[in-house]
Amino acid sequence: MLDLRQYASLGAALKDALERWPNETCLIEADRDREKVRLTYSDFKEMAQPLCRALEDADFKAGDRSAIIMTNQSKWLISAYAILFCGGVLVPLDYKLTALEHLELLAHSKARFLVVEYYLWRAITQLPEFAQLGVEIVLVTEAPAGADLHGAYRWEEFRRKGDPKFVVRQREDTACIVYSSGTGGRPKGCVLTHDSYLEQCASLTAWYPFWPGVRYLSILPTNHAIDFMVGFIGPFVCGACVVHLRTLRPEFVRDAFVRYRISYVSLVPMVLKNLERGLRAKFDELQPPKRWALNRLIGLNRMMTRRRPRLRLSRRLLPEVHKAFGGALRALIVGGAFTDPATLQFFYDLGIPVACGYGLTEACTAVTLNDLKPFRADTVGKPLPGTEVRVLNPDGEGVGEVAVRSRALMSHYLDDPEMTAQTIIDGWLLTGDQGRFDGDGHLQLCGRKKNMIVTAGGKNVYPEDIELVFDGLGLKEFCVFAANFLWPQRTLGDEKLVLVLRLDEGQQIDDRLREEIGSRNRRLADFKRVAGYLLWEKDFPRTATLKIKRGELAAQIAESATRAQMVQI
């Protein structure tokens, strides 16, 4: 791999990667079972240079913010490369947000350029708020012939001949602004420097190296912190190959493992669980003697890999299972949310190493990771090299708030010094997560101190961000909380949001109101919906400026109501 200590910016490292391995395949894009693109590092350079040159001609300047809203595909990485080559700041936005949320984040980030897929652009242009879009240049990919692009350029035609000039950036310059959450409420744009990414990449590849020939299957959205690092920067600076799959259909994901002999893949717990369900269903179809033999082999593999993974041995013991994953899988990287230890153990017992970790966007990508020496299903691993982790104010069981210090941390939240000051204190990032260290230096997470949930799909949801949808409900007042924030429990997983309702004097909850709540709830993306409501009979405590005192209200609710009083919506 490249020696990242020698580089001042992501752009510089990526530029050298394209020179270093010209004939290695760096990118494959497949849609279902159809391969659409296959590029060597040299091809990639040839595709990217005319875009870099066109950006130059469009007066693209160092530090210009450029958003990307796309599903995983080759044009995502080519565009990101061009933006970084030209000294820009990348703003990767989640394509699963609504068009209105995209507009809000484009405005918040003050993006000057935007690269967007046609179907997403079409949705944005249909909103009345589109008139206020401040982006100057928009590049739309895969637009049908004759489509009205509302002043945007076709990505495929935005090209100029000639050699572009590389724009030098320094380690302390901003590389990316990544939104950890926050639309409709208070957007949290994590400002990450080139130093953050280069340091984080060096730490991660020290434990999980890539090399030419290694293939990484990219199915998490590339805007996600994990995939941006492990599905773009990491493989590229090591000469490895990224495989993009433009569908998440389980049958095509399974097929891609085999077709491309995948070495690594990053997954959120929901996808891992889905794979587990598929495998268990297959095992259940086996005739009793075969099932008995399989169980014996799994037991033997478990015993033989107790201290460390032994890939060759596991592949020989359980060839059918490993063939189903392509036969070249080195590890599943799992993060983004709480993962059931039983699921992790299930895969490890099959001889498939699972690198379970813990991270947050504010810390670039990962804070801790399982080094598999030995595998532990009950922890999120040890701090990565160069990362310090402390448990603040531990209780009798050693549990306290997890704090992190490293060069990979974000420098601040965009345009929010108040929230930055609350989150980073004396160089330590307060994560809001509760945890403890065990005797072997492994971190165990035990709950959350902050008022938010993380879904099994790895999405952060902050209650304040979804309250807007309930505005104007015919009642006195309402507030949304994470159920675990009201009633803390020493576990993670199955996290829910609860809508607290204060009715008007003499008002009763009736079918009309219940229906209205349900209908508004359905307007939210499925992972953002509240699970239930709680009737509250006192006025909410408020500040002099009439803001709800959430902490005080939460304490009152925790004292006088129980989780069981929540009514399912």
- Break the chain down into helix, strand, coil percent, rounded to 5: 40, 25, 40
Token code pair at residue 83: 């933006």
Of 37, 58, 248, 430, the residue at the interface with another protein (CB under 8 A) is 248
Residues of span 274-293 touching another protein by CB under 8 A = 274
β-strand partners of 331: 264
Residues of span 523-562 touching another protein by CB under 8 A = 525-527
**For the chain, how big is the Rg over CA atoms in Å?**
24
Token code pair at residue 89: 């700041």
Q: How far apart are CA 554 and CA 1, in angstroms?
A: 50
Q: Which is nearer to another protein, 40 or 274 (CB)?
A: 274
Helix axes 250-259, 269-284, angle to 10 degrees: 80
**In the complex, what is the shortest distance from the CB of residue 522 to another protein, in angstroms, rounded to a whole number?**
6
Using rule CB under 8 A, residue 496 touches another protein: no
Q: Which is nearer to another protein, 305 or 343 (CB)?
A: 343
Q: Which is nearer to another protein, 119 or 211 (CB)?
A: 119
Residues of span 459-478 touching another protein by CB under 8 A = none
Q: Are 216 and 209 in contact, with CB atoms under 8 Å apart? A: no
Using rule CB under 8 A, residue 515 touches another protein: no
DSSP code at position 548: B
Using rule CB under 8 A, residue 270 touches another protein: yes
From residue 165, alpha-carbon distances to 68, 88, 159, 237 in Å are: 22, 13, 15, 21
DSSP 257-278: HHHTT-SEEEE-HHHHHHHHHH
- Please count the other Cβ atoms lying within 10 Å of the Cβ belonging to residue 62: 12
Q: Which is nearer to another protein, 447 or 457 (CB)?
A: 457
Of 16, 20, 40, 96, the residue at the interface with another protein (CB under 8 A) is 96
Using rule CB under 8 A, residue 456 touches another protein: yes
β-strand partners of 285: none
Q: Residue 277: phi, psi to the nearest 5?
A: -60, -45
- Residue keyed to tokens 């495989």: 243
Using rule CB under 8 A, residue 565 touches another protein: no
Using rule CB under 8 A, residue 37 touches another protein: no
**In the complex, what is the shortest distance from the CB of residue 246 to another protein, in angstroms, rounded to a whole number?**
8
Using rule CB under 8 A, residue 3 touches another protein: no
**In the complex, what is the shortest distance from the CB of residue 324 to another protein, in angstroms, rounded to a whole number?**
17
Using rule CB under 8 A, residue 271 touches another protein: yes
**In the complex, what is the shortest distance from the CB of residue 221 to another protein, in angstroms, rounded to a whole number?**
12
Q: How far apart are CA 225 and CA 170, in angstroms?
A: 21
**In the complex, what is the shortest distance from the CB of residue 525 to another protein, in angstroms, rounded to a whole number?**
7
Residues of span 118-157 touching another protein by CB under 8 A = 119
Of 246, 261, 390, 563, the residue at the interface with another protein (CB under 8 A) is 246
Size of the site for another protein (CB under 8 A): 19
Residues at the interface with another protein (CB under 8 A): 71, 96, 98, 119, 246-251, 270-271, 274, 456-457, 522, 525-527
